[in-house]
Structure 1
Amino acid sequence: MKVLLKFILLSLLFTYSTYAQEKDIYAKYGIEVETLQPGLEVGDIAPDFTGVDQDGNTFTLSEAIKEGPVVVNFFRGSWCPSCYKHLKSIRDSLDYIYATGAKIIMVSPEEKESLDAFAKKKNFTFPMISDVDMSIMNNYKVTFEVTEKYQKKIKTFLFTDIAANNAIHQASLPVPATYIIGKDQKIIAKQYNPQYSVRMSPTAIVQALTSE
């Protein structure tokens, strides 16, 4: 009995210690760890969604996958340097992605007007849609609430109020995740990392698409 109690106590201490370390790490990235959603897994059915892109075209996942796989990428907003760097790398590699027969779509909580302007200014021709009520982010389980400290940091250094910048006017962001979805609407590959500088590269996207 004593051995069992000791084991339980040690397990609880380990869990608490791991959680504390995790909280410290995630706080660096502006994440209220208690609100962090875990993401979907490979093999899960990708939730359907519809949105209007910067050119006024309607995109519906279930329709798009009839023609081939779809890459769904979540990003934080036009204010995010890491997001711009990643989007630019994808823009510069679009021919390779499209050569696999896949489509790619970007999803952000940013309000539509500023997102549309960003797409046109940076010549992003892939569809970009505003998740106006965060329903797409929540269905894909990539949402988290932003710490007050990080909100202040973004205001100070990037001159952006995260809540005001979002369509829903709430200080929530997505983990910059990428899901590759097959014609059966199942997730065939993913990249999910709360450390926002870690993204799925164009090379990794192409490799995932061509390995099927």
Structure 2
Amino acid sequence: MKMKKILWFSILSLLLVIATGCEKEKRAKTKEEQIFPHNLEFAVFELTTHQACKVACGENGEILISLQDVKDDVDTNCSLAQFDSIQMMEQIKIYAYLNINGDSTRLEVPSKPCGTVSYYCKDKSEEVQDVFRLIDEIRDAPAAQGDSAWFFDTFERLFGKGASIDHTPYRIYLAKADPTKFDAPHARLEDYRLIFILTTK
């Protein structure tokens, strides 16, 4: 009788350990699915001065975005320059000023330090697709599998911190710009072409 009780107790303890382990595994998987970058949706589009673009968001929504102004502080070739501090690099950026849905205020969208990724495709119409390719490369990298922090850190290093669009769940990034002040010191506002990424916050 005593042996029977011990046996039953051992079986119950084993079942409890297995059940607890499965529950922990289930919780971890659910958390990973909620934050893993493959669930993010991206819209990529190009704007020139005073051009408006309707960007589809979610199932039925859309955002009207237009480029109002550009401030270009990229007057240095950062690959050849030596900086004494990160703060010096932070001052070398391109800023896009956008109008969102006809609002009276302008949204400032900064590039990463030292400017954006360059326009480098032979066919300029392929530049937007190239940004999608860069995003896919980050998302499909072995280091990104199951590690959303690596994905977001790498994305930010390539495209900057972006800007949050008020009263929406979206954030917008300045991915590419052409020209820069370094390439074309006398460029006019209407000469600029900018590519943006819109995604969820």
Q: Structure 2 length as normaliser, TM-score?
A: 0.30
Structure in which a larger fraction of residues adopt strand: 2
User: RCO greater where, 1 or 2, for CA within 8 Å and sep 6 or more?
Assistant: 1
